[in-house]
Amino acid sequence: MMKKLLPLQSASNTPQGQGHQHQSQTIRADSGCNNSVTTSLVPIPPYEILLSLQSQSLDGHLSLKDNEGAAKDFGNIHHFPPLAVLHPKTVSDISRTVKYIFEKGTDSEVKIAARGHGHSLQGQAQAHQGLVISMESLRSPEMKIQTGEFPFVDVSAGELWINILHETLQYGLAPKSWTDYLHLTVGGTLSNAGVSGQAFRHGPQINNIFQLEVVTGKGEVITCSENRNADLFHGVLGGLGQFGIITRARISLEPAPKMVKWIRVLYSDFSAFTRDQENLISLKDNTFDYVEGFVIINRTGILNGWRLSFDPKDPLQASQFHSDGKTFYCLEMAKYFNPDEAEVMNQGVDHLLSQLSYIPATLFLSEVSYVEFLDRVHVSEMKLRAQGLGDVHHPWLNLLIPRSEIHNFAEEVFGNILKDTSNGPVLIYPVNQTRWNSKTSFVTPEEDVFYLVAFLTSAIPFSTGENSLEYILNQNKRILDFCTNAQLHVKQYLAHYSTQEEWQTHFGSKWGAFEERKRAYDPLALLAPGHRIFQKAMSTSI
């Protein structure tokens, strides 16, 4: 059974640092685009260009006032107001707008940022005195689902993953890889990577895409895949919005389970914790479907908090467990199943648990629906918002750390820098590099197994001391400084740097290809200025 599927069409000739340096030469697009752009000695004020955009025929609309919302994001740290916000209804709206600004050439200082659900941390989806494209306005045409041997869903890049989940479940299907939070847009996560506890099996979300539709920095609309315009396809995946704006994606699906066995256990020994995590992700078959972990620092009553959603395997042992003043490591696992498979599933789970070295008193289990499990973080977020804590600062720090260096990292960071407290969850779990496509723009440590360590901290506005933004930013700096001084081969996820030199170091051996793709697909460096990677037009003489 299948909804009518409309193929993505290629329309390559149809009408997203703050600084921009003016250049006197003509820059000619040289990657299949016949457009040329020129420059004059007097730059055109950005507002004049955006004002003149109103003459363009659009299905959506352009807003030139009351756009303060586009200067905010989840991080709540950087606020760069745009001059205008485009609310597109069609891909053509985006294409015509980008092409119009591109054809102004270096006369224009207008930058363009695509904004999804506003979940950026460091202003990456903002465009100071530029144009923000509100991708959530781009919801049509409706999702198209294909069943069969290689099922997939075609969706707008402005669609939320939670909506995709609900729609595909009607066909007994679901995407293979997720983020922990589903109220994010497709284009947003695919521009980064999209990582969660399924990544050790299926890789990140960028590894589970069949096809994309992209509007380049020249206004071209290009359909791309592994076999068609592959350079753009790989470049855009994990490309931080630097080469084009993703407008549609064809996402791989698999049969969806109905239920989840959800398990938590604790460790006091870091070596045992990581050894068990690594063993679980090394099993080819008959392992868990989801493996994550988190660090618990100086918290009391841990197990009492779990009792709201989990049941202890041994209530008497659990009641006698005390955690005061210690650091523990929680291993979180999930096994997907259908109700008629419960007995076999439980036998398999018992076998896996028998091979682990957790503290026996801390085994807690729960059974929930597949949707309830995947959408668990949103439930917690709603509780925080109900307490008036929805608009705090989120100075999150996400690191990818090679397995060979994780113990050195943990000893210093969890033993010294964070030994007293933590202002939010600290996730830590391993993934297999073999599940990551090295052709994409995303960079990982060069080891077979590496760890995601995510410091998901919150800072209360106008506070002082350990709850302040200044304190947590300084704490993040101490962690990064340690990594640098100890010469750890760490990569940042959702990275934020101030200079191109730092970005060059981040991309390492991939920098040359990254720069070439920028020159080919966004030569005027119009797109995604919030990352501060390319702050001026790409000279053809480079």
Those residues whose C-beta lies under 8 Å from the C-beta of residue 181, and which sit 6 or more positions away, are 119, 377, 378, 381
Tokens of 209: 């895409």
The answer to whether the beta carbons of residues 431 and 400 sit under 8 Å apart is: no
The pLDDT tens digits for 486-536 are 999 999 999 999 899 999 999 999 999 999 999 999 999 999 999 999 987
**pLDDT for position 142:** 82
> What are the φ/ψ torsions at residue 114 (nearest 5 degrees)?
-85, 130
CA distance 40 to 318: 74
**pLDDT for position 1:** 39
Measured from the Cβ of residue 356, the count of other Cβ atoms closer than 10 Å reads 19
**pLDDT for position 391:** 82
> Facing residues of 450 across strands?
402, 431
Tokens of 313: 């395997």
141 preceded by a cis bond (ω within 30 of 0): yes
CA distance 446 to 382: 38
**pLDDT for position 43:** 65
pTM: 0.89
The pLDDT tens digits for 265-282 are 999 999 999 999 999 999
Those residues whose C-beta lies under 8 Å from the C-beta of residue 375, and which sit 6 or more positions away, are 162, 165, 182
Tokens of 418: 């964070």
**pLDDT for position 106:** 80
* Locus of tokens 């905010």: 72
* Locus of tokens 């068990």: 276
Query: Which positions are annotated as active-site residues?
Result: 119, 180, 292
Tokens of 162: 């939670």
With the C-alpha atoms ordered 188, 190, 193, 195, is the resulting torsion angle positive or negative?
positive
Tokens of 477: 């700096």
The answer to whether the beta carbons of residues 318 and 336 sit under 8 Å apart is: no
Extract the residue ranges of the chain whose pLDDT is less than 50: 1-34, 38-39, 41, 541-542
CA distance 401 to 385: 32
Instruction: Report the side by side order of strands in the sheet with 327-337.
Output: 311-312, 364-369, 259-267, 327-337, 290-297, 426-432, 449-455, 397-402, 491-493
> What are the φ/ψ torsions at residue 269 (nearest 5 degrees)?
-105, 120
Task: From 256, 248, 251, 1, select the one nearest 147 (Cα to Cα).
Answer: 1
Tokens of 359: 């503290």
For helices 500-507 and 511-521, give the axis angle rounded to 10 degrees: 120
**pLDDT for position 325:** 73
Give me Rg for the CA atoms of the chain. Answer: 24
Tokens of 252: 């791989």
The answer to whether the beta carbons of residues 77 and 469 sit under 8 Å apart is: yes
